[in-house]
Chains A and B, each alone.
Chain A
Amino acid sequence: MYNFELVKPKTIDEAVAALADEEAQALSGGQTLLPTMKQRLAAPDRLVSLANIAELQGVSATGGVVTIGAAATHATVAEKAASAYPALAALAGHIGDPAVRNRGTIGGSVANNDPSACYPAAVLGSGATIVTNAREIAADDFFEGMFSTALDEGEIITAVKFPVPEAANYRKFIQPASRFALVGVFVARFADGVRVAVTGASNDGVFRWSEAEKALSGDFSAAALEGLSVASDDMISDIHGTAEYRAHLVKVLTARAVKAAG
């Protein structure tokens, strides 16, 4: 890893100022960024740690909305969101391994938008809102493709606001070496319809399976998915699974998530 200057701001404003430098990079839990820097795939001149900013911490629930501070770790979400939004807490509690969950954060995961990460599925599947230092962005407008988001240079996620669905579940088929999602499906049933978000499968990153949403909004049962199929054209294909296999898993895991959501 090349050397850099580490700065540790105490407020969002200080962090934004420190990130104004073109060669600066925000550091949250570092569970992706530090390994990436070790491989010299990233070499920022300055890292701006977001770990010491009180405004980015905390989990709260009011009026059917769970708000998670961007610097909340996966372990924190697994614990603190368990009663307000169990499906989200369960997803957070199965990311990586316990030590990774003690460092990795929701803001870091969402900003990175790894095509195989779990959180983007929950954010898109819940129709959550990403709050930044500058604005609020709907999940449908946020994820723009593999490792790409609507965030501007130097913009910091401060929180993610999740409307709590009537029922929800996340099913993940793990890639056995990395433990990332080979495919993961988040299903959420709201009073006005069902959302289905898929991670791990597509070359374009997380996406909504709209045919399944339509079918499940009429009949929230695994049987409603019979006859549907997912096109494999844009699916990831690698030694762990072909595009066709991933497309197949999308349907299987959607059905399992619907059954588990009840």
Chain B
Amino acid sequence: MTKINMTVNGRAVSAEAEDRTLLVEFLRSGLNLTGTHVGCDTSQCGACLVHVNGEAVKSCTMLAAEAEGAEVTTIEGMANADGSLSTIQAAFQEHHGLQCGFCTPGMVMSAAALLKDNPKPSEAEVRDYLEGNICRCTGYHNIVKAIMAASGQLDAIAAE
């Protein structure tokens, strides 16, 4: 067991973990932050997507010890300070960008990573960026719509 330290959603955390502990296991079992989901556990689906030092990563395919000293943001850190939904989260709710909701934490984190680098993406860029996030309910349409809305571009797909 090794003591692992990192900052998660702005809070310094520290916990013992085996070297083989995945970041997603550390978040879910070690810190009880169960908003980050394990879908496929094979790096395909993106339900486990979190930000490590501002970059989107699949937390099922990174060791917790590799995030030593890092700034990690999970879905639990996405809401506004007053507890209200962030712009992206509110857009997912407004535009019905989820059905079962299992993929949603990863979708929101992926959308946030995209909009940080590219605040006004085209619809094609949104779809391309979501390559590594799989949703089996929605057909992606309303997810894309929500992200376009969150970027202030609902007009761009208003004809749908």
Interface residues of A, Cβ cutoff 8 Å to B: 1-6, 8, 30-31, 34-35, 38, 47, 49, 51, 75, 96-100, 102-103, 179
Query: With contacts A99-B56, A103-B57 known, is A3 near B20, CB below 8 A?
Result: yes
> What does DSSP make chain A's interface, helix, strand, loop or mixed?
loop
A99-B58 in contact (CB<8A): yes
**In the complex, which residue of chain B has the Cβ closest to the Cβ of A75?**
B55
* Sample of 8 A–B contacts (CB below 8 Å): A6-B63, A30-B61, A35-B42, A35-B43, A35-B61, A98-B114, A98-B132, A103-B61
Q: How far is the CA of A214 from the CA of B41 in the complex (A)?
A: 45
From A1, A3, A31, A49, contact of B43 by CB (8 A) = A31
Tell me if A2 and B20 are in contact (CB < 8 A): yes
Where chain B touches its partner, the secondary structure class is: mixed
Residues of A within 8 A of B20 (CB): 1-4
Of B63, B114, B132, the contact of A100 (CB 8 Å cutoff): B132
- Of the listed residues A2, A51, A103, the one surrounded by the most CB atoms of chain B closer than 10 A to its CB is A103
A204 to B106, CA, bound (A): 37
What is the bound-complex CA distance between A6 and B66, given in angstroms? 9
B58 near A100: Cβ-Cβ < 8 Å: yes
Chain A CB within 8 A of B73 CB: no
How many angstroms between the C-alpha atoms of A35 and B63 in the bound complex? 11
Are A96 and B57 in touch, CB under 8 angstroms? Answer: no
Determine the residue in chain A with the shortest Cβ distance to B58: A99
Of listed A5, A49, A100, residue having the most chain B CB within 10 A: A100
By a CB distance below 8 angstroms, the chain B residues around A100 are: 43, 58, 61, 132
Q: A5-B19, A103-B61 are in contact. List 20 more A-B contacts (CB 8 A).
A: A6-B65, A8-B68, A31-B43, A34-B62, A34-B63, A35-B43, A38-B41, A38-B42, A47-B19, A47-B63, A96-B132, A97-B46, A97-B133, A98-B56, A99-B46, A99-B57, A99-B132, A102-B55, A103-B58, A179-B131
The CA-CA distance from A153 to B42 in the complex, in Å, is 27
Tell me the minimal C-beta distance from B17 to chain A in angstroms. Answer: 10
Binding site for A on B (CB under 8 A): 2, 18-20, 22, 41-43, 46, 49, 55-58, 61-63, 65-66, 68, 110, 113-114, 129, 131-133
Q: How far is the CB of A103 from chain B (nearest CB, A)?
A: 6
Complex CA distance for A102 and B18, rounded to whole angstroms: 24
Chain B residue nearest to A33 in the complex (CB)? B61
Residues of A within 8 A of B133 (CB): 97
Looking at the assembled complex, report how far the CB atom of A23 sits from the nearest CB atom of chain B, in whole angstroms: 14
The 7 tightest CB contacts between A and B, nearest first, are: A97-B132, A97-B131, A6-B19, A102-B55, A99-B56, A3-B20, A99-B58
Residues from chain A with a CB closer than 8 A to the CB of B58 are 99-100, 103
A3, closest chain B residue (CB) = B20
The answer to whether B61 and A34 have CB atoms under 8 Å apart is yes
Q: Choose among B42, B49, B65, B66 the residue that contacts A99 (Cβ–Cβ < 8 A).
A: B49
Q: Is the CB of A102 within 8 A of B66?
A: no
For the complex, give the distance between the alpha carbons of A51 and B52 in Å: 14
> Given A99-B46, A100-B43 in contact, is the A3-B19 Cβ separation under 8 Å?
yes
Closest chain A residue to B53, Cβ basis: A102
Residues in chain A near residue B42, CB distance under 8 A? 35, 38
In Å, the complex CA distance between A51 and B113 comes to 22
Instruction: Please measure, in the bound complex, the distance between the C-alpha atom of A31 and the C-alpha atom of B18, giving whole angstroms.
Output: 20
Q: A98-B110, A99-B110 are in contact. Are A51 and B56 (CB under 8 A)?
A: no
Tell me, rounded to whole Å, the shortest Cβ–Cβ distance linking A156 to chain B.
Answer: 18
In Å, the complex CA distance between A96 and B42 comes to 13
CB-CB under 8 A from A47, the residues of chain B are 19, 63
